[in-house]
Each structure stands twice: as C-alpha cells, then as structure tokens.
Amino acid sequence: MPLEEVMTDFDVHPVAGEMERPLIVLSNREPYEHVRSAGGTDVRSPAGGLVSALDPILRRISGTWVAWGSGSADRATADAHGRVMVPPADPRYTLRRVWLSEADVKAYYLGFANSALWPLCHLFIPHLDIRRKNWERYSAVNDLFAAAVAEEAERFDTPPMVWVQDYHFALAPAMIRARVPEALIHQFWHIPFPPADVFRIMPLGVHDSLLRGLLGNDLVEFQTAGYARNFLECIERALPDVHVDYTAGTVDVGDRRVRVGAFPISIDVREWERLATLPRTIEVANGLRERYAQNGRQLVVSVDRMDYTKGLVRRLRAVETVWRAHPERRGTFTMLFVAPPSRSDLAPYAQLEREVLRRVAALNARFGTDDWTPVVLIHGNVDADLLAAVYRAADACIVSSLQDGMNLVAKEFIACQGGEPGVLVLSRFTGAADELEGALLVNPFFTDSFADAIVTALDMPRAERETRMATLREQLRGATIDDWLRSVMRAANAAAPAAAAPVLGAPVVG
C-alpha cells in the first residue's frame, strides 16, 4: 500500500491508543537536558520534529527514552541508574540517561559517527576519516546503549517495541536483539544511505558489522525509496547468507524477516503555521522587510546549519554569479543567510566556517553600497519564532544541499508562507525534492544554471508563485509529522515477528 494511502486512514492522535507494546526510544540526544545556570538548574528541550512527535506519545503511554546524558546538571538530577522522570513540570515517562566520557564523545560521536559514517553516507569521500580506535569505541558505546535498553526492557511486563534513531546506533539493533530477543526492534535512518560501491569503502569487517547490526531490526525505515534500495543492494552484495527481495522490500536472515521501507519524515505543520500567524511573528517579518527589502528590493533567505553537505559555498557562488553576470541586479535583493554553527570541533566544519565568513565578507566588500548590504549573515542559533518570521518575510528560500536525507527547512518555509507567496528553490539532491511538486528544482553543482534559477524565482509572476505555493502547501498538509509517525508505527507493528502483513510504506522496487 503506498504511503500516501496509509496516511489517510487515521484520526489526529491515534498512535498511543494503538500501541501494542511498551515503547522504548533510543536516540543520541535526549528530549530534556538539565544544565547548570547562575540561577540554579535550567531545563532545555531541543527544537525539532522528533521530540515534538514522540514526547506526547511517551507521556500518554509512560514509555522510556534512552539517550546520552549530555547536560551539565544531568547526573545531579538523575537517580543512581541514570533515570529521571520527565517532563519536569508534569512527570509522565522515564528518561534513562547513559553516561559517556569525553573520550567516548570524541571517538564514538565526533570520530566514527560524524567523521566516517556521516561523510560516507553523504558521498563526501574526501572528508572520510576511518580510525580503528574510533570504530572500536563506536562499537563499545553502541553496546553500552544496548545494555541500557535491555535493562529498561526488564521493567516492563511484556516485550517492548524499541525504536532506534539514526546512524549513531547502526550496531545497536543486533546487540539489543541478543539481549532481548522477544523485542520488536525498528530503526529510522534519518540521513541518506549510500550506494553499495560507496559503502564498500568501509573496511571489510566494519562494512559487514554495520549491515549485520542493522539487520537486527524487524523494520528499517529510510527517507526515500532510493536509499532503501541502496541498503538492500549493500546487503545483497556483501552478505551471501541472506536473501533479498527488492519487490517486497524484505531481507530473510535465517528464520527472521527484516522489512525495509521508505517513510519520508515531515514537520509539525500546524505548529509552524501557528507560529507564522502570531502577531509578534508578523511584526518581526514586517520589520525584516522594512530593513532589507524596502523600495521594491526583494529578500532571499537561506537557513541551514554550517555543514558541508548543505552546499553553503555553492549557494554563495550562485548569488555572486547573479550579481556578476547581471550588474543591474545589484541592489535589487538581499540575502539573509542564517547559518548556525555545527560540529566546529571537526576540521572540515571549521574550514567551512572560515570559507563562508570569508566569502560573505568578500561579497559585501565587492558589491555593497552605503545603503545595501548584499549578504546579511546570522551566524548563531535562532529560535523557531524568529525562523518563522524569516520564512514569512522571504520572497524566495534557497535550499542547495549537495546530499540530504530530507531537509526540513524546505517544509518549514512552505508552512510559514503567508500573504505574498515566495518561491522555494530546492536542490534535487534532497529527499524533499522527491515529494514537493511546485518547488523550483536546481542542481547546485551547476553554478550558472543555479544562478539562472535564482533570477527565475525573483522574476516569477505572482500567479505562478501562488499556484506553486498552493500546491506545496496542499502536499505538506497531507504529509505531516503525525502522518509520518502513524505510518511508521503501523508498519512496525505489522513487521513484528509473529505478523505476516506487508510493510505499510512506499514499496521498494529494484
């Protein structure tokens, strides 16, 4: 059954009532973090669709969330087992914190997860850095988390559903299964999964261990059918003792069947629409336009963290090409470039940050005038309220990822558009490009064509902008974070070892 059909079968919040097992979520980051402050202890909850989707479910069913205890006051607020009830103001479920040393974080998180798996999956082979000590620590930390999940599973009367999140825990599913064989285990892989010829760059023992770790799941969920196919091809080419069925999207491992499907993640559409229509948001958006888009000038926005996969340098090159090739365009639009820092401890990210800052300064020095700053850089963390205003104020939003599992900026921009419609200029190498008909698709590697697309977006007649945005908004409202969550949970229940029903996700066709 296609994913879009599955999404129409549910009420607004039926997931908790349909849970057939207790739920344990495993993620690297925690939903609530306690940090020391001048006033004592503050509680922070990270922004993002995953927490907003799963936190209410865990509250209703009294589930458990296992994560790295990263906050400076986390130990002081947890019990001897690392447990604390959350949310702090109205405790409903257990947060089980796992303690990592600085060496763990450096080797497991920065070292293997983000210096080996991340660049490999995003096809950035020059940034790939595989070290034996990092791999060994990644394996040890995965085992540490698997042990914590097993301990939490013992606290339930019935076998739990364990939902593993992302590339930080490629080995954990098999480790959890060894400890809790009766558990229903599934995993959402948020980032791209590379083709087999790229994945085999991993050393042989690492390569096979990662695949067998993921086959510890009953269901593996990817953003697109293409990534799911890549995974199946990797399995087929590397592991001769398993059987892959591309049409069904299954892998038979001994007497177990692992199901594989595409489940594109989304955003909390209603929440972003609400933020965009608040009086204070509209006031800030109007202020942005008065400051940067006065007298007929247009506002182009760019919102992405400082990551080499996002194509930030190529984005700046394309804008520079517009101003170089079309001198008459100088002074006609401003780019508001929101680029929060990310993983600056890693050399490729630090180098990217220097390059972006250098290029922004050079562009402003070359093209700027007394009354016009071509690129306005916001190099800091921006909360959702301000982001909603930025999106609402935009005449165009540029997303130029070179590889991206989904890219939720594109969806946030659509949800926040109001009044005069803007244009979404979207890289065709994002998972979002597979879903969003109505975006202006570009190849960020082809600078001249990319620049032409920016001009097209800025010159697009209002009628076409309205038609495109109406199409985008209709698609987005039909595929929200709640729809994603429901489809995943239904598919996971169907993938339980005792069930024979097919995965309710997009089919994987070879």
- Is the CB of residue 313 less than 8 Å from the CB of residue 356? yes
- The pLDDT of 245-265, averaged and rounded, is 96
- 124-173 confidence digits (pLDDT tens): 999 999 999 999 999 999 999 999 999 999 999 999 999 999 999 999 99
Is the pLDDT assigned to residue 11 strictly greater than 50? no
pTM of the model: 0.92
| Separation in Å, CA 501 to CA 15, 134, 367, 492 | 18, 39, 61, 10
Ranges 15-29, 127-141, 206-220, 240-254: which has the least confidence: 15-29
pLDDT band at 4 (very low <50, low <70, confident <90, very high): very low
Residue 504 lies in a domain: no
Amino acid found at 131: R
Q: Measure the CA–CA gap between 30 and 45, rounded to whole angstroms.
A: 8
Torsion of CA 355, 305, 262, 450, to 10 degrees: -50
Determine if the peptide bond prior to 87 is cis (ω within 30°): yes
Q: Are residues 195 and 302 in the same domain?
A: no
pLDDT at 235: 98
Q: Are residues 86 and 154 in the same domain?
A: yes
Is the pLDDT assigned to residue 507 strictly greater than 90? no
Share of the chain above pLDDT 70, in %: 93
Q: Are residues 99 and 149 in the same domain?
A: yes
- 447-481 confidence digits (pLDDT tens): 999 999 999 999 999 999 999 999 999 999 999 99
Residue 506 lies in a domain: no
* Mean pLDDT (the chain, rounded): 92
pLDDT at 419: 79
Q: Are residues 359 and 242 in the same domain?
A: no
Domain count, the chain: 2
Q: Are residues 303 and 190 in the same domain?
A: no
pLDDT band at 492 (very low <50, low <70, confident <90, very high): very high
pLDDT at 60: 87
Q: Measure the CA–CA gap between 236 and 508, rounded to whole angstroms.
A: 14
| Helix, strand and coil percent figures for the chain, each rounded to 5 | 45, 20, 35
Could you say which DSSP state residue 441 is in?
A: E
Q: Measure the CA–CA gap between 415 and 266, rounded to whole angstroms.
A: 11
pLDDT at 131: 97
pLDDT at 48: 65
Residue 508 lies in a domain: no
Q: Are residues 292 and 428 in the same domain?
A: yes
Residue 140 lies in a domain: yes
- Is the CB of residue 264 less than 8 Å from the CB of residue 484? yes
Q: Are residues 486 and 422 in the same domain?
A: no
Share of the chain above pLDDT 90, in %: 84
Beta bridge partners, 256, equal 253
Residue 507 lies in a domain: no
Q: Are residues 38 and 132 in the same domain?
A: yes
Q: Are residues 357 and 252 in the same domain?
A: no
pLDDT at 53: 80
Residue 60 lies in a domain: yes
- Give the closest residue to 430 by CA, choosing from 440, 422, 418: 440
Q: Measure the CA–CA gap between 32 and 62, rounded to whole angstroms.
A: 15
pLDDT at 45: 84
Beta pairing class for 256-262 and 219-222: parallel
Q: Measure the CA–CA gap between 413 and 303, rounded to whole angstroms.
A: 9
Is the pLDDT assigned to residue 267 strictly greater than 70? yes
Handedness of CA 421, 300, 339, 194 (dihedral sign): positive
pLDDT at 49: 65
Residue 333 lies in a domain: yes
Q: Are residues 137 and 165 in the same domain?
A: yes
Q: Measure the CA–CA gap between 225 and 396, rounded to whole angstroms.
A: 29
Q: Which domain covers residue 140, as residue numbers?
A: 3-266+482-494
Q: Measure the CA–CA gap between 442 and 453, rounded to whole angstroms.
A: 7
Q: Are residues 489 and 444 in the same domain?
A: no
Is the pLDDT assigned to residue 30 strictly greater than 60? yes
Q: Are residues 215 and 326 in the same domain?
A: no
Residue 361 lies in a domain: yes
Q: Measure the CA–CA gap between 506 and 497, rounded to whole angstroms.
A: 20
**CA-atom Rg of the chain in angstroms:** 23
* CATH number of the domain that residue 409 is part of: 3.40.50.2000
